[in-house]
Structure 1
């Protein structure tokens, strides 16, 4: 294949659109039919010429030269769509020997056996509270139990994910996880926590069916397991999604503070007659407002009235509150923006549609450029969080000692101690319940590894 044809194909694969890129090669003129393609890829650093400043497009391209183009294309995989990614992956497999000789370390080459790819992570975690805490649990029938909590805890977790390519548009994923507290009796608890199939319908629609991640909004309300189906339409600039199924990690964890200890009330949110897990329909819209601002909104429909009745009996009745309406639907909005190369701000708001005292909001500012893949990168974040007595917060991305009836400042630091090794530390500051009573401050430190 001639070099001119190769670069023309590369522009199609990568979707490069630098219409006014300058041409750096003396032997490629504006009259050349491949002028635009060569100039575009040169401006992106994907093709290079010879030391004398020529491109020599009349010559056949060698496998080694093609491998160099593929290696540079692989660095742009996060900027192209699923169809273009599939082409790049096929090229990477075809030129795997040449890429290895270049020292290219890419998971699609190193971690792939046949049509299987595997990745994983490991974590060492330390968590604690600055005072004694107690948990007041209510089961599905409203039975009570009060137990003391360990003031600190040290545990570990490992996960391995297997991804099988079915065809260019379909993949199947299974993830195995194991975790255990250091010093606890018995073996680590092991489970298959992700099992799903994902299919792309062209460039603008993707469906995922099975046990998967559900990320509502920016993560304030829910970031955990979900069993069901999800469909996403659009691209990063503007997309919409709908998910239907059962959330496995929905329970109320309210806090009540005083001067000596903290009581955390836990109660399940469930649909008794249909499923033990809460039945949800989640509608979301997300998009970009310019280059550096992202925003979105969501509405979550909680199915059936049995969940409402369970919530009234196990959560509201013990504190003398009644729920008149038969809806636990909740909604919210969120946004984040970059303010320069190292400063970013974010915020989110959520509430139940028909429950008073359910406002939840958070706002934070981050400084730094932490990237776990790059040793020496770091970031610092300061955040304020206010969660109403009945806030619709269940499995939040934001670390906190409770999900309801809490207001607190928090700070977080992250540092990449080595490539793919990250250290994170977090603590709340002056945590209180909504009535101003002191709540035990919570702290956490993680050492994370990715492979």
Structure 2
């Protein structure tokens, strides 16, 4: 009799459906179907307090920042969903301005999703998403994983999915402003990508245990064709990944990515027209925000040639110069209470990959953060 429930009763049903989400899922009950019947608008959000440290780069107040995001999800009908969200962005504790002057809250998600087909296995999504990851959700997201305006068509079957889309990057050096950084050899790189757009495609095959293998491709162009890295246009990017689940709690991710340039660029290896990166990550366990005391631990390996990182807003936990680098990393995620998680990451054994100038190896990076969902 949920359709006849009062506002108070619907609120109770929502609360119970959330509290017993894991149990209902184990029983095969579609919680989303219950939510659709008790109300078509749901408000969610998250908050993050973050600490990042690297000697002589991020220290003291500059190491601390926070971010808060709010989302409104509305089911128009059983096939159409509208999502809108706002974000504060990452606000540094090193900023000295008045709080009332920080009027930079922005829309980081505003999209419409429409499912069609007899089994609703086709989806058309138009608008802004807060998390477009080059390579998809199973890939590492080395070059980009942030706000993105696009139109995207995807198909998802039992063991296969395919995605194609076209859009514009909205964050990082790919978002319409110059991005300058120095690599491990103290060579300055400038990325000037004004309104960069990309056409992209992704295919992925999966197995019953969650193992997935995929490949992806992006081609870049700007309205005024000045997509530059060290004086050369970024042409395209392609990659492949394999995410293996084995045993009860183990996952191994292997990701390869290669970026090509229209003309040769100056790198630590000399003049090159392309650069690649290899990434591997081994994870044990799974930290779920809905399950207190759940946890995971991981170790990763990064091997990136000079020129592999094109200056986007990376999906990695790392920051700064991320190419011409060979580095290890490790981390732990622990859900200490429902919807509350602590995460810590640390790099180690980091060194310059092609050290033609005999420069000092980069300082190690430390990151720790509390994440809360509501």
Map of 2:221 onto structure 1: 303
- Is 2:275 aligned against 1:363? no
Structure 2 CA distance, aligned partners of 1:76 and 1:419?
Answer: 17
Residue 450 of structure 1: CA displacement? 0.5
More helix as a share of residues:
1
Kindly indicate whether residue 199 of structure 2 is the aligned counterpart of residue 281 of structure 1: yes
| 2:330 is the alignment partner of 1:411 | yes
Contact 1:349/1:359 (CA < 8 Å) preserved in 2?
yes
Q: Answer with 249-258 or 349-358: which moved more.
A: 249-258
Larger Rg belongs to:
1
Return the alpha-carbon distance in structure 1 between the equivalents of residues 206 and 80 of structure 2.
27
State how 1:364-383 maps to structure 2 within 5 Å: 364-383=281-300
1:25-45 per-residue CA deviation (whole Å, 9 max, x = no partner) reads xxxxxxxxxxxxxxxxxxxxx
1:226-265 deviation line (CA, Å, top 9, x unaligned): 112111112352011111010123526654336xxxx584
1:431 deviates by 1.8
* C-alpha displacement of 1:277: 2.0
Aligned partners of 1:295 and 1:336 also within 8 Å: yes
Q: What SS class does the counterpart of residue 308 from structure 2 fall into?
A: coil
> What number of residue pairs does the alignment pair up?
325
Unaligned runs of 5+ in 2: 2-12, 174-178, 262-271
Which residue is equivalent to 1:316?
230
Report the Cα offset of residue 353 of structure 1: 3.7
Change (3 A) 1:253 1:391: farther
The CA distance in 1 between the partners of 2:24 and 2:297, in whole Å, is: 27
Q: CA deviation at 1:368?
A: 2.2
Matched, 1:330 2:237: yes
CA separation of 1:440/1:236 partners in 2, compared to 1, >3 Å: closer, same or farther?
A: farther
Taking structure 1 as reference, are residues 338 and 158 closer, same or farther at Cα in structure 2, changes over 3 Å only? Answer: same
**Contact kept? 1:423, 1:446, Cα under 8 Å:** yes
The change in CA–CA distance for 1:431 and 1:79 in structure 2 (over 3 A counts) is farther
| C-alpha distance in 2 between matches for 1:78 and 1:196 | 32
2-structure distance, mates of 1:427, 1:264:
25
Is 2:175 the counterpart of 1:175? no
Structure 1 residue aligned with 2:184: 257
| Shift, 1:395, TM fit | 2.7
For residues 178-237 of structure 1, what are the alpha-carbon distances to aligned partners after superposition, in whole Å with 9 as ceiling and x for unaligned?
A: 242225223244111111111111312111111113122112232111112111112352
Where do residues 101-180 of structure 1 align in structure 2 (5 Å cutoff)? Answer: 114-129=39-54, 131-133=55-57, 150=59, 152-178=62-88, 179-180=90-91
> TM-score with structure 1 length normalisation?
0.65
- Residues 128 and 442 in structure 1, CA contact (< 8 A), matched pair in contact too: yes
Following superposition, the deviation at residue 316 of structure 1 comes to 2.1
Deviation at 1:377, TM superposition (A): 1.4
| TM-score, length-scaled by structure 2 | 0.77
Per the TM alignment, residue 90 of structure 1 is displaced from its structure 2 partner at its CA by 4.4
Instruction: Give the Cα separation in 1 of the matches to 2:344 and 2:122.
Output: 38
Distance 1:90 1:190, change over 3 A: closer
Aligned to 1:431: 350
Q: Secondary structure at the match of 2:230?
A: helix
Q: Tell me what 2:25 maps to.
A: 76
Using the TM superposition, give the Cα deviation of residue 266 of structure 1 relative to its aligned residue in structure 2, in angstroms: 5.6
* Structure ranking higher in strand proportion: 2
Unaligned runs of 5+ in 1: 2-63, 94-113, 134-148, 271-275, 318-322
Could you tell me which residue of structure 1 aligns to residue 365 of structure 2? 442
Cα distance in 2 for partners of 1:165, 1:340 equals: 38
Q: What is the root-mean-square deviation of aligned Cα atoms in Å?
A: 3.0
